[in-house]
Structure 1
């Protein structure tokens, strides 16, 4: 079952923010959405999640439009980590994470939900802070706490079964992380895909995107400029045209065959 946008778009006051977007997030696959600032990447992901209603085209989950699912059904099939996870009440980390399964898995007992919350906090490297107030954390720690919460939303409904989890949609999930935590978060995304879930991530770092994604979607001026495997999509010509970087700055890694960009090449001498 794929999560697909079919010629989808979103307008504000008659102005198209995203237009003609056709792509599919597939189970077992990590898709990275890249592009310049203001290109429409986050809007595209919010359309895929159903948080924004398509003003043209449609979004489908499997063989049915996203709009045909109830909130509880949708919560069990897809979860989104937004950039602005603001809290207006104070919770411990364990309480925050446990709440992720309340709508998607209302049948799950308190003790089972509590235990799974602890396991997910361990995965994101925050087990030692389980009883700490979320607002006492650093920005990067809070971002990972919310990642554990959205993982809870997808894993609670299938906990203890061999059913694959749903679609994990992440908007800039490594923006507040140091290098080792960036690696941790992206490893978690890859692990979700290995378990049969689908992953869609908005990313600014082309090197991390190329290294971890199976599929790259390049958004430019509200439309999809290119998509496919990283080694086919992230060429010097595309990076020059879309990002305004001088051609010849994309290299191919000898070990992985994946493209990468060296910032040293762009520093003025």
Structure 2
């Protein structure tokens, strides 16, 4: 488990996060929900160990994250940011291969080819693996970066490494069309079902409701509510968080439809 306790992050006098506690649990998807500027991206960067909080602690498997080596963490945790700039003339496949860098010089390096192939297949990018990354559309680049993150935490199902893995996603569907939004979250769901702990900042409330096990509502850097999706993503909680009127209907198939 990755656990954040009483996290506060300051930017001058502004509190980007104010006493936030949240957990990323193996085998579950947690949706980070909130309006723009709520602190979702900041929280993901803190959970990833890429930004130190001004107050509070981050624990990676019951150990303070700042006492673990960055390489050790990178072998078990992958991060997909909203924007990933790349100025070098890499092919799409070479970008995916970057996810395997933490395993250089280890036995896991022998799985690099299988990991890249599996990640490309899962994200549907096989057909343009040989293309220059710079020539891809925004959505295609996002899928390649998603594949890179998957390759980083990919494990051979027949292997002996059963240590928990984590996937941190910052608005992974932002540049994607409807079909590929579903594809990304289908993959996240499949990984969670294999035991990966997933946390994702998601703007689409219906996608969050359909795929997540747990939800965390943030507003103004503060925690509004957290827990199972059904108890957090209610008309009252969502309405208060976004300051809009929310109506939740139940479709014939049992799925919820969130209307704003």
Q: Is residue 164–residue 196 contact of structure 1 (8 Å, CA) maintained in 2?
A: no
CA shift at 1:262, angstroms? 2.8
- Alignment TM-score, normalising by the size of structure 2: 0.93
Q: Does 1:239 align with 2:238?
A: yes
CA shift at 1:158, angstroms? 8.0
Distance 1:130 1:210, change over 3 A: same
- RMSD between superposed Cα atoms in Å: 1.9
Aligned positions of 1:42-81 closer than 5 A: 42-81=41-80
Distance 1:72 1:110, change over 3 A: closer
Structure 2: how far apart are the matches of 1:70 and 1:211? 36
Distance 1:150 1:65, change over 3 A: same
Q: Helix, strand or coil for the counterpart of 2:190? A: helix
Structure 1, unpaired ranges of 5+: 264-269
1:174 equivalent in structure 2: 173
Q: Is residue 120–residue 152 contact of structure 1 (8 Å, CA) maintained in 2?
A: yes
CA shift at 1:251, angstroms? 2.3
Q: Is residue 165–residue 196 contact of structure 2 (8 Å, CA) maintained in 1?
A: yes
Structure 2: how far apart are the matches of 1:128 and 1:234? 38
Structure 2, unpaired ranges of 5+: none
Structure 2: how far apart are the matches of 1:177 and 1:121? 16
CA shift at 1:151, angstroms? 1.0
- Alignment TM-score, normalising by the size of structure 1: 0.90
CA shift at 1:122, angstroms? 1.3
Q: Is residue 108–residue 156 contact of structure 1 (8 Å, CA) maintained in 2?
A: no
After superposing on structure 2, the runs of 4+ consecutive aligned residues of structure 1 that deviate more than 6 Å are: none
Aligned positions of 1:18-97 closer than 5 A: 18-97=17-96
